């Protein structure tokens, strides 16, 4: 890294398919004692903003852009927010951009080369792709029409580092297969195995790993701002926001049945809930049939008990989901 690039603020693009563990890794980055001041730009695919509540409170600033896929409709916002950040560049040393799980990272990376003001102040340090060791193969094998990108493949192809998360959920043979599948797509990026997103941050932050020449060799149209990509339109987000308290037994039965029957199609589920009789919020996150939850902070004295859920998946029926969820409310 020469002196000219050393003066630029490094930017890490954190990407990975829905439910791979990006937010968990982000929490680890925000709370680990690494001596860096980090500004975070967060984007989520969904109608209701929940990820900001799932990210642990920290001194770093979190910018949540909630109006679509970062690589499609919010690129102008990304440039604007980066520009605003640089007006306060004395307050941070590093920027982390967490993309939605449905983002092709290429247009995000492209921003740092096609916008002169951004290129003069920031350098793309690395694209870090997080994968779920248990579910990666299923997403890689997901058949798409010829004109539709497989985002899981694209995220691996552009990775400078691959964080193989949730290795505790697979055995040694399965992990070896996951490594092999990754290597078929990307032979260069170092692999970092972990659970719960706990990684050696020196392996992913300020590593100077992004190589424009390699990217152009794989994708000659990388710097073409008019190059188009098309997402799978059968994948949608359904947001549910319902006031009231929930009967816990009915809620458990509803979630269990939903994930058992539709879990293959539900890539990601997450929510903040109001269990009846509890002074605390309940936060849950799910990936396909796997679900994890915990009690969260107490409700504020003037805070309405409201339930917020987001489901991201294929062929979701909004009315059916909301109607069936309402049966969990206390009468």
DSSP letters, 42-95, are EE--SSS--HHHHSPP-SS-EEEE-SS-TTTT-HHHHHHHHHHHHTTGGG-SEE
CATH of domain 3-218: 3.40.50.300
Classify the C-alpha dihedral 165-171-176-177 as positive or negative: negative
Weakest-pLDDT range from 25-34, 47-56, 89-98, 104-113: 47-56
pLDDT tens sequence across 117-135: 888 899 999 999 999 999 8
Residue with tokens 């493949």: 153
Highest mean pLDDT pick, 91-95, 97-101, 204-208, 227-231: 204-208
Architecture of domain 235-326: 2-Layer Sandwich (3.30)
At 225, the pLDDT band (50, 70, 90 cuts) reads low
Domain with CATH 3.30.1220.10 in the chain: 235-326
DSSP letters, 112-153, are HHH-HHHHHHEEEEEEEEEEETTTHHHHHT----TTS--HHH
Task: Provide the β-strand partners of residue 132.
Answer: 165
| Distance (Å) of CA 195 to CA 24, 98, 140, 270 | 10, 19, 21, 20
Highest mean pLDDT pick, 29-43, 93-107, 126-140: 126-140
Rounded to the nearest angstrom, the gap between the alpha carbon of residue 60 and the centroid of all alpha carbons in its chain is 18
At 153, the pLDDT band (50, 70, 90 cuts) reads confident
DSSP letters, 214-268, are HHHHH-TTTT-TT------TTEEEEEEEEES-B-HHHHHHHHHHHHHHHTTTEEE
Find the mean pLDDT for residues 30-48. Answer: 70
> What are the strands of the beta sheet with 266-273, ordered from one edge?
235-243, 306-314, 266-273, 280-287, 290-298
Q: What is the pLDDT of residue 68?
A: 40
- With b for 16 or more beta-carbon neighbours within 10 A and e for fewer, the 179-209 pattern comes to eeebeebbeebeebbbeebebebeebbbbeb
Residue 171: what are its φ and ψ, rounded to 5°? Answer: -90, 180
Q: Per the structure block, which two tokens stand in for 281?
A: 């919020």
| Distance (Å) of CA 134 to CA 35, 140, 247 | 33, 12, 32
Residue that wins the pLDDT comparison between 315 and 46: 315
Residue 290: what are its φ and ψ, rounded to 5°? Answer: -90, 135
Domain with CATH 3.40.50.300 in the chain: 3-218
pLDDT tens sequence across 295-320: 889 998 989 999 999 887 778 888 99
Residues 6 or more apart whose Cβ sits within 8 Å of residue 150: 139, 140, 142, 144
Find the mean pLDDT for residues 201-218. Answer: 82
Q: What is the pLDDT of residue 248?
A: 92
DSSP letters, 183-197, are HHH-SSSPEEE-STT
pTM, entire model = 0.68
């Amino acid at each position: 890294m020469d002196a000219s690039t050393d003066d630029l603020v490094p930017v890490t693009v954190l990407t990975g398919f829905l439910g791979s563990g990006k937010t968990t890794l982000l929490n680890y980055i925000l709370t680990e004692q690494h001596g860096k001041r980090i500004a975070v730009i967060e984007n989520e695919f969904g109608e209701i903003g929940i990820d900001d509540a799932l990210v642990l409170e920290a001194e770093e600033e979190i910018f949540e852009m909630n109006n679509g896929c970062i690589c499609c409709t919010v690129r102008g916002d990304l440039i604007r927010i980066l520009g605003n950040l640089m007006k306060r560049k004395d307050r941070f040393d590093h920027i982390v951009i967490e993309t939605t799980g449905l983002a092709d990272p290429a247009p995000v990376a492209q921003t740092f080369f096609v916008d002169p003001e951004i290129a003069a102040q920031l350098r793309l340090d690395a694209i870090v792709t997080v994968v779920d060791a248990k579910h990666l193969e299923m997403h890689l094998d997901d058949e798409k029409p010829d004109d539709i990108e497989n985002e899981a493949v694209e995220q691996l192809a552009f990775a400078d580092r691959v964080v193989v998360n949730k290795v505790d959920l697979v055995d040694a043979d399965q992990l070896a297969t996951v490594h092999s599948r990754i290597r078929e797509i990307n032979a260069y990026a170092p692999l970092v195995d972990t659970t719960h997103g706990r990684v050696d941050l020196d392996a992913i932050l300020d590593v100077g790993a992004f190589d424009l020449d390699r990217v152009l060799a794989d994708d000659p149209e990388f710097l073409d701002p008019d190059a188009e990509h098309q997402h799978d339109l059968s994948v949608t987000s359904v947001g549910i926001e319902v006031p009231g308290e929930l009967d816990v037994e009915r809620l458990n039965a509803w979630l269990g049945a939903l994930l058992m029957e539709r879990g293959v199609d539900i890539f990601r589920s997450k929510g903040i809930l109001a269990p009846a009789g509890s002074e605390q919020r309940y936060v849950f996150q799910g990936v396909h049939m796997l679900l994890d939850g915990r009690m969260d902070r107490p409700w504020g004295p003037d805070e309405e008990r409201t339930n917020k859920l987001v489901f991201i998946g294929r062929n979701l029926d909004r009315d059916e989901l909301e109607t069936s969820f309402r049966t969990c409310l206390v009468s």
